[in-house]
Structure 1
């Protein structure tokens, strides 16, 4: 099967399956996931570790599979399901080159920035739809901003976020990301929904102030 046909098959799975992880995990488990560039950007995540404190599910691959399943549940709320689901699949590909062990803890600083560039590179290998590519790229670039905005962290780029992404779409991706983890209690789930609400309130206030 050609790489373009594989891309089309992946897209079909992302848009139609209730649990896309079943398909992708079968490919990985049977050693059938394409290893050629650019698909290795995704398959490489199988061996990228994460901090157990924040990611009890283990590797970035495991996390990504949980995220795409959460996204599949939420996708009908999206204004652009295709971009939303590809963003979910590619949202952490930047962790491969950025993950390091610091003081006994795995970190992946700026994986959002690096991942946005990698996602653009991945998609340009198959399509030339600039609007679609930029939508996915920017969702990935700002997918950490729920945390950054809610906690008023210095890493936030409010201007870039407001100018480049739909806040509702970003909130939906961020929610999928936050819920796509190992065991998560009802209390923690409620907290994540509350954080999304706070993020939207703060971000829309920033946006409205900018437009005044």
Structure 2
């Protein structure tokens, strides 16, 4: 029995990063031998075991054969005769197909270390095309390592395009798409994920609502970048600067989907795109089974980002309505998420990345003033039941009106 550290842990060690998880491959062993040593079996498709003390995964070396479309269509073969190189050959990228022996020796049969040094994301073998999830994983790695200049190898991009053209990518199920998308949103450069997908033609198949934004013009005086798709990725880039929360980044990503359905005769203006965008965000979230917290914030940003941008000219009544729509008095943290996504929208334009904007501070101040109205004072004044809420709203509105009046005088 020989045991090797494999995959991401080896890759991250070579990059000087702290490995998040450690996976092991066991060569020359049977399931019975693993059980005899106290390993706990997991996984139905192939023999994977948990270490009795560390809980880390130990998998028997295995090969695989494609038997049907999609990522479930594989037949696995594991026995003591399978070599380490045969096991590594079935992996997606060369940077993930390295192993480390117990004495620290690196086993690198496919040139993964050179690809790490050269910032190259390259497939191990033509079998790459057999699993459509790999296409998403490559895009996610591109998002993770973009800050170091990593690029997808031309030959790998060609295989990814082949997967799109052959229809293999259509076998992706919503759960796996969302799993990779949500991970990509947490990476250092999430916009790169979508650039890579677009570069191989997969964006149109997986995220058609995003693909249709490219080539749609916007007024140049407000959007020097003009193209709505370009703007969307710039907004996502700014959202990544402003917040580590993937919910904020997702809301920023989808906020302008309505512009993709603007009639051509109305270009470059996009009247009521917020309203049209709501249905598209709902459609995308339902298709990918997006969690409710992502969906709800995305819908609020889509529907009300135009209101946000006009904050300086809003009447007190409209400001209060915005706070109520955001459920601000019960969930002030969601107001912060909303403001960050909308601020990313303002900054996602060439020349505006580092500009100061008044809207976030103004809306935060409106919330502070409205929150200062004491519900206990309302109850003490003799109101009860439904009348408490009505009087509370009246007092909040009066406070906001007094504040806006003071602002107008200043």
How would you bin the TM-score normalised by the shorter chain?
A: 0.7 to 0.9
Higher relative contact order (CA 8 A, sep 6+): 1
The match for 1:97 among 261, 278, 289 is 261
Alignment of 1:16-165 (within 5 A): 16=187, 18-35=188-205, 39-76=207-244, 81-98=245-262, 100-101=264-265, 106-127=268-289, 129-152=291-314, 157-165=318-326
Give 1:93 shift: 0.3
Change (3 A) 1:96 1:202: same
Aligned length: 198
Give 1:97 shift: 1.5
Change (3 A) 1:139 1:30: same
- State the TM-score, normalizing by the size of structure 2: 0.44
The structure whose Rg is larger is: 2
Give 1:144 shift: 2.0
Pick which of 40-49 and 133-142 moved more.
133-142
**Distance in 1 separating the partners of 2:248 and 2:353:** 25
Give 1:203 shift: 4.7
**Distance in 1 separating the partners of 2:235 and 2:249:** 10
**SS in structure 1 opposite 2:343?**
helix
- State the TM-score, normalizing by the size of structure 1: 0.80
Unaligned runs of 5+ in 1: none
Unaligned runs of 5+ in 2: 1-131, 133-171, 327-333, 374-392, 397-410
Change (3 A) 1:34 1:144: same
CA contact (8 A) 1:19 1:69 kept: yes
**Distance in 2 separating the partners of 1:10 and 1:158:** 34
Change (3 A) 1:99 1:82: farther
CA contact (8 A) 2:247 2:293 kept: no
Give 1:117 shift: 2.2
Deviations along 1:111-160, one digit per CA (max 9) or x if unpaired, are 1222122111110112264454223212221122222222227xx95455
**Distance in 1 separating the partners of 2:224 and 2:199:** 20
User: CA RMSD of the aligned region, Å?
Assistant: 2.7
Change (3 A) 1:145 1:47: same
Change (3 A) 1:140 1:185: closer
Change (3 A) 1:179 1:12: same
Does 2:338 match 1:181?
Answer: no
**SS in structure 2 opposite 1:41?**
helix
Does 2:369 match 1:205?
Answer: yes
User: Which has more strand, going by share of residues?
Assistant: 2
CA contact (8 A) 2:214 2:228 kept: yes
Deviations along 1:14-57, one digit per CA (max 9) or x if unpaired, are 112x2222221122233232425xx2111111121111111111
